[in-house]
Amino acid sequence: MSNNIIEHIKQHEGQLTMGGNNAAGTGVSGGGYQQPNDDSQSSLEDDSDGGGGGGGVGESVQRKHECLICHKKFSSSGNLAIHIRVHSGEKPFKCSVCGKGFIQSNNLATHMKTHTGEKPYACTICGKNFSQSNNLKTHIRTHTGEKPYACTICGKRFNQKNNLTTHMRTHQLVCMVCGVQFMHPSDLANHMKFHNDEKPFICSVCNKVYLNLDELTEHMKKTHNQVKPYRCHICDKTFTQSNNLKTHIKTHIFQDPYKCQMCSRSFQKEDDYSQHMLVHTADKPYECTYCGKRFIQSNNLKTHVRTHTGEKPYRCTICAKNFNQKNNLNTHMRIHTGEKPFECTICDKRFN
């Protein structure tokens, strides 16, 4: 979306919130608007005309404030002003612990519970506690079996709205040749290249062709890019990037310079050390919407979600077999290449 239109919309937002004497975005507007005191995002969705419901004259009068970008309507200028932040990307409420930003103060208050460990919402059936009322509401459905969200195409039902949204994509992204379903448009586009025998990325050195830019880039690095201008002055090892050389130098100067004070484990890289510390702080901000399992890193969550959706985005370019993780594909490729990198230290037999 054009930055110009977003900046223009922000001017309207400023007018709606009466010049910003509440610069933190408390939601108080000239119309006496009070910030919703429940889960703020769902409150805004309920307020917009995209959430279904009546449609009588009284309701249309209430929802007279329209977003110029997506045309959703809201009952007050304050709700519209908050909604516009979804388009502008503005997140004025910052977490003092991890720095994460939020559109509304209620979202920040809910997030803070992940740091404090507070879980005030208890299931009356099994006693399990939750930090958010919405999570409790969803959990209750595991006891009742309620699945209120139905697919309008095949009738399949779900206990969460986002599960239905994910499911709906499988109807939209279907290969017209073989009927295989995909989660993302880019996956379908890459799949169609197999039917069209299209390999548009050509190596300028050896003329080998590849289905996507990532494969070509990887080929160029491994096969042709032999120039390593950055040399270690201690052991003469060479590197293609200066950052790699700097990291390597530390192995001579320090023996794993980043040491954990809790378990005495040490690391060469600061990033690895930071990731390790999350194990001790127990901060797992990424939660699976299907089963509630939590993860330290977003990539781990993304990989885990594929166990629910069945998505297998990594495809073998030789036999077209699909995998849900890239390292599984790499292991599979050794069947075709004959590579056996693992050697028995006793009998020297090699394995893939």
In tens, the pLDDT along 124-176 reads 989 898 888 888 888 888 889 899 988 877 788 988 888 888 887 776 677 76
- Split at pLDDT 50, 70, 90, the class of 253 is low
**Percent over 90 (pLDDT), the chain:** 1
- The pLDDT of 198-222, averaged and rounded, is 69
Calpha distance 10→25 (Å, rounded): 13
| Tens digit of each residue's pLDDT (9 = 90 or more) over 178-188 | 677 776 777 77
Left, alpha or beta for 8 (phi > 0: left; psi -120 to 50: alpha)?
alpha
Q: Which of 89-93, 99-103, 238-242 has the lowest mean pLDDT?
A: 238-242
Q: What is the dihedral of CA 312, 317, 319, 322, to 10 degrees?
A: 0
More confident site: 233 or 206: 233
Would the pTM of this model clear 0.85, i.e. be above it? no
pLDDT of the residue at 24: 38
Q: Which residue has the higher pLDDT, 202 or 93?
A: 93
Window from 3-17, 116-130, 248-262, 328-342 with minimum mean pLDDT: 3-17
Q: How far apart are CA 120 and CA 139, in angstroms?
A: 14
Fold assignment, 119-198: Double Stranded RNA Binding Domain (3.30.160)
Half-sphere exposure at residue 177, Cβ-oriented, CA atoms within 13 angstroms:
8
Q: Quote the pLDDT of residue 23.
A: 37
Q: What is the pLDDT of residue 229?
A: 65
Report the alpha-carbon distance of residue 314 to residue 217 in Å, rounded.
16
Which residue ranges does the chain devote to CATH 3.30.160.60? 79-117, 119-198, 292-351
Buried b (16+ CB within 10 A) or exposed e, 322-332: bbbeeeebeeb
Residue 228: band (very low, low, confident or very high) from pLDDT cuts 50, 70, 90: low
- The number of C-alpha atoms within 13 Å of 185 and in the hemisphere containing its C-beta is 0
Calculate the dihedral angle through the C-alpha atoms of 16, 21, 26, 29, rounding to the nearest 10 degrees.
Answer: -30
Asked if the model's pLDDT at residue 96 lies above 80, the reply is yes
- Between 352 and 12, residue with greater pLDDT: 352
314 band by pLDDT with thresholds 50, 70 and 90 = confident
DSSP labels, 91-106? --EE-TTT--EESSHH
CB atoms under 10 Å from CB of 259, counted, come to 13
- Asked if the model's pLDDT at residue 320 lies above 50, the reply is yes
Contact 125, 143 (CB under 8 A): yes
Average pLDDT, the chain: 73
Q: Which CATH class is domain 292-351?
A: alpha beta
Check residue 282 and give its pLDDT: 62
Task: Name the residue with tokens 């933190």.
Answer: 24
* Domain at 79-117, CATH from 3.30.160.60, 1.20.1260.10, 1.10.10.10, 2.40.37.10: 3.30.160.60
Nearest to 80 by CA among 93, 71, 89, 90: 71
Does position 210 have pLDDT exceeding 80, yes or no? no
